[in-house]
Amino acid sequence: MGWTDRLPLDGLMMGEQLLLSRLIDYAADYHGKTEVVARELDGTVARSDWASVRRGAARMANGLRAAGFDGECRVASLEWSTLAHLQHYYAVLGLGLPLHTLNPRLTPDDLAYMVRLVGDDVVIFDTENAALAASLAPLVPEVAAWISVGDIADELVAAFPRLIRESDLLAGAADAVIWPEFDENRAATICFTSGTTGRPKGVAYTHRSITLSAMNMSMADMYANTRGGEAECVLPIAAMFHANAWMMPFSAALNGQKLVLPGRRLDAGPIVDLIVDEAVTLAGGVPTIWTGVLDELDRRGITSTPLRTALVAGTALPGHIFDRLTERGVVARQSWGMTEVPGAARGAPPLGASRQTPEQQRKLAVERQGRVAAQARARLVDGEGQPLPFDGVAAGDLELRGPTVLSRYVGEPPEAAREWLATGDIAVIHPDATLAIVDRAKDVIKSGGEWISSPQLEAAAVSHPAIAAAAAIAMPHPRWQERPLLVCVAEAGLTVSDEELRTHMEAAVARWWLPEMIVYRADLPLTPTGKINKAALRAEYIEAEGSKR
Amino acid sequence: MGWTDRLPLDGLMMGEQLLLSRLIDYAADYHGKTEVVARELDGTVARSDWASVRRGAARMANGLRAAGFDGECRVASLEWSTLAHLQHYYAVLGLGLPLHTLNPRLTPDDLAYMVRLVGDDVVIFDTENAALAASLAPLVPEVAAWISVGDIADELVAAFPRLIRESDLLAGAADAVIWPEFDENRAATICFTSGTTGRPKGVAYTHRSITLSAMNMSMADMYANTRGGEAECVLPIAAMFHANAWMMPFSAALNGQKLVLPGRRLDAGPIVDLIVDEAVTLAGGVPTIWTGVLDELDRRGITSTPLRTALVAGTALPGHIFDRLTERGVVARQSWGMTEVPGAARGAPPLGASRQTPEQQRKLAVERQGRVAAQARARLVDGEGQPLPFDGVAAGDLELRGPTVLSRYVGEPPEAAREWLATGDIAVIHPDATLAIVDRAKDVIKSGGEWISSPQLEAAAVSHPAIAAAAAIAMPHPRWQERPLLVCVAEAGLTVSDEELRTHMEAAVARWWLPEMIVYRADLPLTPTGKINKAALRAEYIEAEGSKR
């Protein structure tokens, strides 16, 4: 037959690459007067718009080029979520250079490790991070230049082998640029995960993966879902060095949305000010952020805000936060993702949810972590790697695959490329495509061949008024293999007997899940991103930790 | 500096290609029980779901492979919008073969031209198109095989050099398949534009471009915008051979939405049945379709339906259709695109529209053709190719660019690749990114150096009760270069003098726009897709047409 020796037929569409410079150009060209607002480091609110952000990014790009920072130069930023940082994002990425967003909450030693691993040549830092940068500089002499944004104390200057003031870099730089064209698979932002154990691991996004993530998050059931399509005002209550602040600096540009950046402090007071003053319609944050925001609203006696949607991720959405948000007319939506796979599950309820009772809808919102998205296919596998059904019952290791999913960490060799990414989470997938995370694989407690979910156990404990916080970890057990040890923090001035607490918890979990032992301490150790550091607890309480790390 | 001789740093995300097989796999794996419904050729409604559609597609794919139709075989379909056609879409595309969707409303001669131009090897046709296929077969002896779906009359069989019955092809074929991996830039569907002049021109989409189009159309302000993110039930009131039925067979799969296919006839009665019986929440169609649907609803006395959004494209949305839809609680949204650039402008109103008065919102909905989308950047250029501002005033040739935009037509050589696609439309872009199409470039009437918009002139004429339809074309004029000739169809039994009609029209358009001459005829010639065929009118009325064709 005539077709056996034919060449493949290519389609005839434009080969334009998915570059992040397209997003800032789109926002500036078509939504140039849409506001971009940020709380600056001095606490004031700076006002800008997408056209001005592009001009600022262009000046920075021209300044970097003029100073010789182009070619294959690698740039790092040590900055909070400010307008300047946003402009650095688009300047560096627009030039096609990788931007390594460093987390200022880490130690100089950890930062030095990451700077060396990526091979950063230039580090941009802001005023508040000048002292940290000065501590870091001696550890990484291979960094060719340091760029300071804003004032820097005289006594710090000597710490840097070559210090350039951003104002000098920008002096005379033109505020327009034609962004270069390059392969969409080139590295874009590089972001390290907050490993609860061992060294942080680097995720190098591509221009393609970020564009697809931003598109995925812009779909109807995600970052823009509440106004019948009209543009939102979005606020990521998250740092720009943490998975690109939920990708919102990109998704907002893609949609011409108003963007509000929270600056350095994510304290409830300033956040509530931004929500009210800037008419934020959609904001994203971890549950503890939302608790703070709700407490602050109560304190001020505010019962209604412009906010329409609260996106929750990071850890599960507690029922009481859902209830408090719902009372204020805010739709609470969980979405699930990780640095390695931003926005893997969408925030939307499944088909038919609007016809369910409020109680059913609450259950869906609280107990499910979103709906599996097409750009990050999910599967569940058992201990032998065999796929499990999506029946809402079978729990297995959650693995992901797709063009927005990490293939390998920075520094891993090409042969480490993954076909499926093991997330380290144990999950269930329901027939309506909603995902329920049961536990972290390393935190799950395996008792007598069955699994005990540590988050569910903790939720049951915390629902007692005397318990402020709780962490369940596995303790080895001669008969049952593992049994739960519950580490609690008591509410100030309150106590509860172990027996009384177990009785209380039994209303929520199976009897055999009840903790084998209960201990108290003043507070729980946290990871740099505010999650409970279970590895530290295991190291402290469990002698034979071994493979659990 | 150390980075000048470095290799580019690649990102480390998975290189998974954007293939259309991912969409059917996503829909089947995670939304397998979500319904897919189609009106079959016999008028009955067939019920299926995404899991069954994949099984059907897999069987067809296995059948095609077993018969040797793989490698670089090119497949054409001559079918209406049925379940079988949907399965053929995913079977052929899943195998990585191009699927050339032929328009059964064209002549055998035109079809033969297109089949030869693409180099089709196999043609799949349904019962209703068997006679047409039999007329076509002798004209294209290079087609190696013809596959008939459903019964075929005995007297037609002899027309085909090699005829395979689909039932034979499927007999014994397994209903599961692992789709092959290939480059996302390979040709996917191929679809010819309904040129109003000359031969139709072929658009060869890629797997990448269709996936990006489907994602773009799934964004909050487009195909899924009305239910706060909950999945819709979508109905494309359009043929699957016409730009893939507005891409809805793909966008519905991408979102796990219920899909309803209209079958052959787009008559209002069966369409209204589908909307009511299947609880369609979002449907797309050209304005004449909506007029028919509204008339039918009136006839039945139905004032409320499940429909939440009516997407309108093809030609502008007349105000009276907007009003009638609004009265029934349906949000009417215009979106603008063309076969060469599906969904170039999104249906959403701009930021702040919800705070406008109903009258302002109506104006936006009626007078703007959507908001420019990031995946198809738009620019306006003047006669010298210089860009014009997006100020809502400057009108220029609309040009588009992006990964969902045609680079060249089938048969054009590589050097014909476009940097920007000239759409042939004259447009204005407003500061809020909304697009307003002024006229087709070849239809605009250039009078004394100024432009007269033929659609606006026609709208002014049709607003007179005695005028059923009107088409304005340019007639040469010694002094003004061109002047409008208005070709009218009178309402049965009504007449109006030229002077009275001009006086009536003067309320809506400038005095110098008024037609130089008015002529009447029984009806207006139409193109195969139902648009007024102005080329035919020019050929009939204007001697010296020349460059206007």
Per-residue pLDDT reduced to its tens digit, A419-433: 999 998 889 999 988
Per-residue confidence (pLDDT) for residue B217, from 0 to 100:
84
* Closest residue in B to A22 (Cα–Cα): B374
| Structure token digits, residue A467 | 């318990």
In the beta sheet, which residues pair with residue A47?
Answer: A37
Amino acid symbol at B275: I
Q: Tell if the CB–CB gap between A403 and B222 is shorter than 8 Å.
A: no
Q: Nearest by CB to A228, which of B15, B331, B390?
A: B331
Q: Tell if the CB–CB gap between B418 and A14 is shorter than 8 Å.
A: yes
Contacts of B9 in chain A (CB under 8 A): 72, 74, 98, 186-187, 204
Per-residue confidence (pLDDT) for residue A227, from 0 to 100:
45
The yes-or-no verdict on residue A355 having pLDDT over 80 is no
* Closest residue in A to B421 (Cα–Cα): A14
- B332: part of which helix (H) or strand (E)? strand B331-334
Residue identified by tokens 């339906």 is B305
B249 contacts B53 by C-beta, under 8 angstroms: no
Q: Tell if the CB–CB gap between B258 and A351 is shorter than 8 Å.
A: yes
Amino acid symbol at A107: T
Mind telling me how many Å the CA of A340 is from chain B's nearest CA?
9
Contacts of A15 in chain B (CB under 8 A): 185, 403, 407
CA-CA distance, A333 to A317, in Å (whole number)?
8
Residue identified by tokens 């593992």 is A482
Contacts of A209 in chain B (CB under 8 A): 11, 13
Strands (E), A221-301: 233-236, 258-261, 282-285
The yes-or-no verdict on residue A162 having pLDDT over 60 is yes
Per-residue confidence (pLDDT) for residue B548, from 0 to 100:
38
Radius of gyration for chain A, computed over Cα atoms and rounded to the nearest angstrom:
24
Question: What would the 3-class secondary structure string for A335-381 be?
Answer: CEEECCEEEEEECCCCCCHHHCCHHHHHHHHHHCCCEECCCCEEEEE
Q: Nearest by CB to A12, which of B331, B371, B406?
A: B406
Q: How far is CA B160 from CA B70, B142, B152, in A?
A: 21, 11, 12
Q: Nearest by CB to A220, which of B34, B218, B432?
A: B218
Mind telling me how many Å the CA of A250 is from chain B's nearest CA?
12
User: How many A×B Cβ pairs under 8 Å?
Assistant: 307
A338 contacts A363 by C-beta, under 8 angstroms: no
Please provide the size of chain A in residues.
549
- The structure's pTM equals 0.87
CA-CA distance, A203 to A403, in Å (whole number)?
14
Q: Tell if the CB–CB gap between B11 and A205 is shorter than 8 Å.
A: yes
Mutate to test the interface with A, among B12, B254, B338, B340 (most CBs of A within 10 A): B12
CA atoms within 13 A on the CB side of B97: 30
**In this structure, are strands B233-236 and B258-261 parallel, antiparallel, or unpaired?**
parallel
B8 in helix, strand or coil? coil
* Closest residue in B to A122 (Cα–Cα): B3
Q: Would you place residue A222 in the very low, low, confident or very high pLDDT band (cuts 50, 70, 90)?
A: very low
CA-CA distance, B76 to B89, in Å (whole number)?
10
| Structure token digits, residue A509 | 């979990």
Per-residue pLDDT for chain B (549 aa), expressed as one digit of tens each? 677 777 778 899 999 999 999 999 999 999 999 999 999 999 999 999 999 999 999 999 999 999 999 889 999 999 999 999 999 999 999 999 999 999 998 889 989 999 999 999 999 999 999 999 999 999 999 999 999 999 899 999 999 999 999 999 999 999 999 999 999 999 999 999 865 556 789 999 999 999 999 998 887 654 444 444 455 789 999 999 988 999 999 999 988 889 999 999 889 999 999 999 999 988 999 888 898 999 999 999 998 888 988 988 877 788 889 999 999 989 888 888 889 998 888 776 777 777 788 888 888 888 888 888 888 899 999 988 899 999 999 999 999 999 999 999 999 999 999 999 999 888 999 998 899 988 877 788 888 767 788 888 998 999 999 999 999 999 888 888 889 999 999 999 999 999 999 999 998 888 888 999 999 999 999 876 677 888 889 888 885 444 333
Per cent of chain A over pLDDT 90 is 62
A486 contacts A519 by C-beta, under 8 angstroms: yes
CA-CA distance, A114 to A199, in Å (whole number)?
9
| Structure token digits, residue B200 | 């139709």
Contacts of B13 in chain A (CB under 8 A): 185, 204-206, 208-209, 403-407
CA atoms within 13 A on the CB side of A410: 27
The pLDDT of A257-264, averaged and rounded, is 94
Q: Tell if the CB–CB gap between A218 and B222 is shorter than 8 Å.
A: no
Q: Nearest by CB to B13, which of A9, A98, A407?
A: A407
| Structure token digits, residue A41 | 């480091």
Q: Tell if the CB–CB gap between A256 and B351 is shorter than 8 Å.
A: yes
Contacts of B353 in chain A (CB under 8 A): 230
* Closest residue in A to B5 (Cα–Cα): A72
Q: Tell if the CB–CB gap between A15 and B377 is shorter than 8 Å.
A: no
Q: Nearest by CB to A206, which of B13, B254, B432?
A: B13
Q: Nearest by CB to B9, which of A98, A216, A401?
A: A98
Contacts of B183 in chain A (CB under 8 A): 8
Lowest mean pLDDT among A109-113, A544-548, B416-420: A544-548
Q: Tell if the CB–CB gap between A350 and B231 is shorter than 8 Å.
A: yes
| Structure token digits, residue A46 | 């700076």
Q: Nearest by CB to B351, which of A218, A230, A372?
A: A230
- Condensed to tens digits (0 to 9), the pLDDT of residues A449-494 reads 677 888 889 989 999 999 999 999 998 888 888 899 999 999 999 9
CA atoms B451, B453, B454, B459: torsion sign: negative
Contacts of B3 in chain A (CB under 8 A): 71-74, 121
- A469: part of which helix (H) or strand (E)? strand A467-477
* Closest residue in A to B27 (Cα–Cα): A374
- Condensed to tens digits (0 to 9), the pLDDT of residues A17-76 reads 999 999 999 999 999 999 999 999 999 999 999 999 999 999 999 999 999 998 899 999
Mind telling me how many Å the CA of B313 is from chain A's nearest CA?
17
Q: Tell if the CB–CB gap between A377 and B25 is shorter than 8 Å.
A: yes
Contacts of A3 in chain B (CB under 8 A): 71-74, 121
Residue A316's nearest CA partner among A461, A436, A443 is A436
B337 in helix, strand or coil? strand
Q: Tell if the CB–CB gap between B2 and A121 is shorter than 8 Å.
A: yes
Residue identified by tokens 């805000």 is A305
CA-CA distance, B504 to A1, in Å (whole number)?
65
In the beta sheet, which residues pair with residue A435?
Answer: A429
Residue A542 CB neighbour total at 10 angstroms: 16
Strands (E), B88-132: 99-101, 122-126
Report the catalytic residues of A.
193, 340, 446, 451
Give 3-state DSSP helix, strand, coil % of chain A, rounded to 5: 30, 25, 40
* Closest residue in B to A229 (Cα–Cα): B221
CA-CA distance, A548 to A473, in Å (whole number)?
10
Report the catalytic residues of B.
193, 340, 446, 451
Q: Would you place residue A545 in the very low, low, confident or very high pLDDT band (cuts 50, 70, 90)?
A: very low
- Condensed to tens digits (0 to 9), the pLDDT of residues A62-91 reads 999 999 998 899 999 999 999 999 999 999
Q: Would you place residue A205 in the very low, low, confident or very high pLDDT band (cuts 50, 70, 90)?
A: very high
Per-residue confidence (pLDDT) for residue B175, from 0 to 100:
96
Per-residue confidence (pLDDT) for residue A13, from 0 to 100:
96
Q: Tell if the CB–CB gap between B208 and A351 is shorter than 8 Å.
A: no
* Closest residue in A to B349 (Cα–Cα): A230
DSSP class of residue B177 equals -
The yes-or-no verdict on residue A314 having pLDDT over 50 is yes
How much is the ipTM here?
Answer: 0.86
